[in-house]
Amino acid sequence: MSGTPGIGSRESGVGSRASGQRPKLTLATTSLAGCFGCHMSFLDIDERILELVQLYDLRKSPLDDLKTFTGMCDVGLVEGGCCNTHNVHVLREFRTHCRLLVSVGQCAITGGLPAMRNGIPLAELFAESYQKGPTLDTALIPSDEDLPMILDRIYPCHEVVKVDAFLPGCPPSAEIIWEALSAIAEGRPIDIPYRDFKFD
Ligand code: SF4
């Protein structure tokens, strides 16, 4: 991903401050229709988290349990695609509040494993999930008005909002996530050889 457009570049407006002392950036993360594996991989940066907090102030994220934005954020990491209306709402809120939005992992980039349901009619999915399962003791399909509406298919993030950069993998390794975040903070291009992207 060497020379990723819009990242760590002067055009991005992020991580491109004048030389000398660099102010800390702000970082938000969220998980949509994913398994939290990408967040777990993020935490695999281990002791580098001490360096991370020198580069970034963490804002809205499951990692610090801050649930609301209090202002604009420099960088937003999104795990998972959109499977329901709540995912779409959260993703649009992230786009609005993050100067640089990064899709992290295959679920965010292509829909990933949840997208295996794409192409199957919703009625068939609901029947299989709520009415035909061997462990079910009710034939009711949940329909409370407080529940988000299921979308007709899984939508990758870039089909819902503009995404500035992509970190492929399932999950992207801690090294990839660290390289991306440190490059953005230092205002240099992200340099990740293609061979380092893994899907295992
Ligand atoms: S890309 Fe892989 S690790 Fe990340 S949320 Fe999706 S399934 Fe989980």
Summarize the confidence of residues 111-117 as an average pLDDT. Answer: 96
Tell me: pLDDT of 128 over 50. Answer: yes
pTM of the model: 0.88
Are the C-beta atoms of residues 8 and 190 closer than 8 Å to each other? yes
Per-residue model confidence as pLDDT tens digits over 4-15:
433 333 344 465
Model confidence at 132, pLDDT cuts 50, 70, 90, reads confident
Ligand 1 pocket, 111 CB below 6 A?
Answer: no
Ligand 1 pocket, 15 CB below 6 A?
Answer: no
Model confidence at 140, pLDDT cuts 50, 70, 90, reads confident
Per-residue model confidence as pLDDT tens digits over 183-198:
999 999 998 988 888 8
Q: What percent of the chain has pLDDT over 70?
A: 90
Phi, psi of 124 (to 5 degrees): -70, -40
pLDDT value of residue 119: 94
Ligand 1 pocket, 49 CB below 6 A?
Answer: no
Distance 20 CA to ligand 1 centre (A): 37
Please give the Cα distance from 118 to 30 (Å, whole number): 23
In order, the DSSP letters of 18-70 are PSSPPPPEEEEEEESBS-SHHHHHHHTTGGGHHHHHHHEEE-SBTTTTB-S--
Tell me how many degrees the CA angle 59-65-68 measures, rounded to the nearest 5: 55
pLDDT value of residue 6: 36
Q: Which residue has the higher pLDDT, 18 or 116?
A: 116
pLDDT value of residue 4: 41
Q: Which residue has the higher pLDDT, 106 or 142?
A: 106
Q: What fold does the segment set 10-116+151-196 form as a domain?
A: Rossmann fold (3.40.50)
Per-residue model confidence as pLDDT tens digits over 30-85:
999 999 999 999 999 999 999 999 999 999 999 999 999 999 999 999 999 999 99
Domain segments of the chain as ranges = 10-116+151-196
Q: What is the mean pLDDT of the chain?
A: 89
Ligand 1 pocket, 35 CB below 6 A?
Answer: yes
Burial class (CB in 10 A: 0-12, 13-18, 19+), 21: exposed
Q: Which residue has the higher pLDDT, 171 or 17?
A: 171
Distance 43 CA to ligand 1 centre (A): 14
Ligand 1 pocket, 170 CB below 6 A?
Answer: yes
For a ligand 1 pocket test, name from 83, 113, 167 the mutation site with the most ligand atoms within 8 angstroms of its C-beta: 113
Summarize the confidence of residues 16-27 as an average pLDDT. Answer: 72
Distance 10 CA to ligand 1 centre (A): 31
pLDDT value of residue 14: 63
